[in-house]
Amino acid sequence: MRFTTFFLKPIIAALAFTILAGVTHAQSFSLIYTFTNSPGPGNQNSSLILDSNTLYGTTYYGGSSSNGTVFKVNTDGSGYTILKSFSARSANYPYTNNDGAWPQGGLVLSNNILYGTTTSSGRYGGGTVFKMHVSGSGFAVLKNFLFAGGLSNSDPESPQGDLILSGNTLYGTSHGGGTNGRGTVFKINTDGSGYSLLKQFLATIPNTNFASDVNPDGASPYSGVTMNGGTLYGITPNGGSFGHGTVFMLNTDGGGFTVLKNFPIPYSNGSKNQDGMSPMGSLICRDGLLYGTTISGGTNGWGTIFKISIYGDGYTVLKTFAGSPDGAIPESALTLSGNTLYGTTMYGGTGNNGTLFKVNVDGTGYAVLKSFTPNFAGTNNEGGLNYVATAGLTLSGATFYSTAPIGGAYGSGTVFKLDLTPQLGEVVVSNSVSRVAITNFFGQSVDIQVATNLSGTWEVLTNLVLTNGVGQFSDSSATNFPQRFYRALAQ
């Protein structure tokens, strides 16, 4: 990808040993929108999707009936609009309505139509799959799920993960429902036809040795599935041979179900093990490898980042979280850009209020990009990710967009962005070599280009050196010209 913003810095190289004080920029964190108290959108926000300069998302609470919303807001913070407020529920169990309540998964956008799910209510109380136009018009329920209170039924119940769209077919998971009450994988066409259950997870059995319920295939998925070719890949935080979750694969026709990984039991002291336990955020897939996170386990007990091949071999822990200062409990899905994974943690960081982090796909280069500030009586100046964080990061160019489910001025969460665009920093001219530091260099591929005037030809300097995430280059020709202009251009 190519970032469109160029950062220019003239270098006057007439004098040796001259230091020109350029402005050094750190990564830029800013709030786009701060949610207000009821009847505002509330908290427990899901991942955002970006279309042009507009972000679309859902909130779990808030809206006119406090049952959640679909909203949009521009990337500059303008144009905040509630597109849909989910309606009031019946007073009697199982709390039905006509459209659903409490959306938790993210949205899918195709041809100006948004698709999503609600975890509760609808005609039969078990949640819904819905669609609507980006203008807020044309809301329609594609599927009403049956509520059974976690017991067995013939339907999914409480879909909580993101949907994915392939052609005209939506694929999703449910946390509960199915004939064993342990969740499902389902598909449905965008017009509401073609509904089918692809997988119903098996019943779990208590196992006192593992202090958890076990079964052969996993149980109770929170996150959605990922597609690679004609195969779906997913995770469960519970069940499996040791009761602490699985990685699985499944064909889009419902055949070929295979468990690729059973997460092991902890050491005798509780929450620690080698591999991690209870994977939560959706998997991402590239080049035959799956990347994901666990919310517990690892040698410190605070969760891990892992990779595994699509065939189930080569399981590797890329990062074991340590709490403070590097983060803890990574619940959301990862985002992959180039060879770098980005994500969030619910806890940890310098304020123990969550972090944004990056790590290379080979496990090197871990860094905390942002530590959220502590909450005071539930409020702060920027939001915080702890307690209910499920939102992943949406990447556009070098800017990440996401939501914090609590915090902000009203304690109801925020929409924020973090800009990691490489920038030219302080310029040093010494003897025949000119050096310029590059800040915000977080794993991007960067060209340093030089010209003798702004309207001239830009040439690429190839001698870029990286040290501890900071780029530095030299230009031995700097003293041969009255002036030189430089720009950092990320790919």
At residue 307, φ and ψ (nearest 5 deg) are -135, 155
Tokens in use for 327?
A: 């983060």
- Tell me which of 467 and 147 has the higher pLDDT: 147
Contact 1, 397 (CB under 8 A): yes
Residue 45's pLDDT is what? 52
Q: Of 64, 72, 146, 63, give the one whose Cα is nearest residue 107.
A: 72
**By three-state DSSP, how is residue 479 classified?**
helix
Which amino acid appears at position 251 of this protein? N
Q: Where does the chain hold its CATH 2.120.10.30 domain(s)? A: 28-419
28-419 homologous superfamily: TolB, C-terminal domain (2.120.10.30)
Q: Is the omega angle on the peptide bond into residue 39 within 30 degrees of 0, that is, cis? A: yes
| Assigned token pair, 29 | 């964190």
Q: Write the secondary structure of 137-186 as one string of H (helix), E (strand) and C (coil).
A: CCCEEEEEEECCCCCCCCCEECCCCCCEEECCEEEEEECEECCCCCCEEE
The average pLDDT across 247-271 equals: 93
Write out pLDDT tens, residues 90-102.
Answer: 998 889 999 999 9
CA pair distance 86, 122, nearest whole angstrom: 10
The rounded distance, in Å, linking the Cα atoms of 168 and 131 is 13
Q: Is the pLDDT of residue 432 over 60?
A: no
Q: What angle do CA 226, 229, 230 make, to 5 degrees?
A: 85
Count of beta carbons in the 10 Å neighbourhood of residue 111: 7
Least confident of 129-133, 216-220, 452-456: 452-456
Q: The tokens of 98 are what? A: 């006509």
CB 338: neighbour CB atoms within 10 A?
A: 13
- Cα–Cα distance for residue pair 326/237, rounded to 1 Å: 23
The answer to whether the beta carbons of residues 50 and 75 sit under 8 Å apart is yes
Share of the chain above pLDDT 90, in %: 57
Alpha-carbon gap, residue 446 to 414, rounded angstroms = 31
Distance CA 426, CA 227 (A): 45
The answer to whether 379 touches 410, Cβ cutoff 8 Å, is yes
Q: 428: pLDDT confidence band, cut at 50, 70 and 90?
A: low
Pairwise CA distance, residues 106 & 295, whole Å: 20
> Rounded distance, CA 438 to CA 469, Å?
9
User: Strand 140-146 to strand 125-133: parallel, antiparallel, or no bridges (unpaired)?
Assistant: antiparallel
The tens digit of pLDDT for each residue in 433-475 reads 556 666 655 555 667 788 888 888 888 877 666 655 566 677 7
CA 339 to CA 359: how far, in whole Å?
9
Among 25-39, 248-262, 370-384, top mean pLDDT goes to 248-262
Mean pLDDT throughout 38-65? 80
| DSSP SS3 for 363 | coil
Q: Taking the model in full, what pTM does it have?
A: 0.85
384 DSSP β-pair partners: 406
| DSSP secondary structure of 78-97 | ---EEEEEPPPPPSSTT---
Arithmetic mean of pLDDT, 126-140: 98
Per-residue burial over 262-287, b = 16 or more CB atoms within 10 Å of its CB, e = otherwise: bbbbbeeeebbbebbbbbbbbbbbee
Cα-Cα-Cα-Cα dihedral of 47, 490, 319, 326, to 10°?
Answer: -80
Q: How far apart are CA 244 and CA 433, in angstroms?
A: 57
Which residues, including other chains, have CB under 8 Å from residue 390's CB and lie 6 or more apart?
44, 46, 47, 104, 222, 281, 331, 332, 405
Q: Are 86 and 65 in contact (CB under 8 A)?
A: yes
